[in-house]
Amino acid sequence: MLHIDVMDGHFVPNLTLGPAVAAALHRVTRLELDVHLMLSEPLRYVEDFVRAGASCITFHLEADSPVPDTLKAIHALGCRAGLVLKPATPAQAAFPYLAQCETVMVMTVEPGFGGQAFKEEMLPKIAALREEAERQGLAPDIEVDGGIDCHTAPKAAAAGANVLVAGTALFGRPDYAQAVRELRAAGFTQKSFE
């Protein structure tokens, strides 16, 4: 998947890109677009991003849009949906919504800027989400965003994550495909992972 960080200069101080750029990316790749909305009002923009070609839209539990309505709106547009938790937000805050989420994403850095160090203290949160999902008979993707590299990928995977987002660890390398293969090998050695 191609993970797209959308920032509005309000929910986070940084400003990135909007639906027009997502649509342009969609035209030139067969990769699924995994759109991470760091917006104060994600509900206002979900339709634009689905039209732009998003396969999955995640938004922050801490944003101003009502969580159930936003999940419902994304699903009604035929798109996968999920919640994102900032480092300070406990796993328990997501528990009531797990049954409505195809994915739950744990931020292992403060959202807004690349290049930050992975917060190891988020590992129990990943484990708590996986445990609660299993207790509810659910198997959502558990995605980890922030500071993922060959050292942190195995820790996140061991805690229960099955989707890892990498930025700095890939974009600093001359061969992205090789860098992705190395991350997969580091993170998912116990599973056969295609």
Half-sphere exposure of 150 (CA within 13 A, CB side): 10
Closer to Zn ion at the Cβ: 17 or 99? 17
Decide if 144 contacts 106 (C-beta within 8 A): yes
Return the residue of 145, 147, 152, 179 that touches Zn ion, per CB under 5 A: 145
Closer to Zn ion at the Cβ: 5 or 102? 5
Closer to Zn ion at the Cβ: 134 or 171? 171
Shortest distance in whole angstroms from residue 145 CB to Zn ion: 4
At 70, which amino acid appears? T
Long-range pairs, 50-54, Cβ under 8 A, ≥24: 50/74, 50/77, 50/78, 50/79, 51/19, 51/23, 52/19, 52/20, 52/22, 52/23, 52/26, 53/22, 53/23, 53/25, 53/26, 53/27, 54/22, 54/79
Return the residue of 33, 35, 36, 166 that touches Zn ion, per CB under 5 A: 36
Closer to Zn ion at the Cβ: 36 or 130? 36
Active site residue 69: no
Is position 60 an interface residue for Zn ion (rule: CB under 5 A)?
Answer: no
**From the candidates 8, 141, 145, 149, which is the catalytic residue?**
145
Phi, psi for 84 (deg, rounded to 5) = -120, 140
- Of the candidate spans 29-37, 44-52, 150-158, 182-190, the one that interacts with Zn ion by CB under 5 A turns out to be 29-37
Query: Tokens 């195995």, residue?
Result: 154
By Cβ distance, which residue is nearest to Zn ion?
Answer: 36
Active site residue 175: no
d(CA 83, CA 62): 10
Is position 5 an interface residue for Zn ion (rule: CB under 5 A)?
Answer: yes
- Of the candidate spans 28-36, 48-56, 95-103, 172-180, the one that interacts with Zn ion by CB under 5 A turns out to be 28-36
Q: Which residues of the shown chain bind Zn ion in the complex (CB under 5 A)?
A: 5, 36, 145
Q: List active site positions.
A: 5, 145
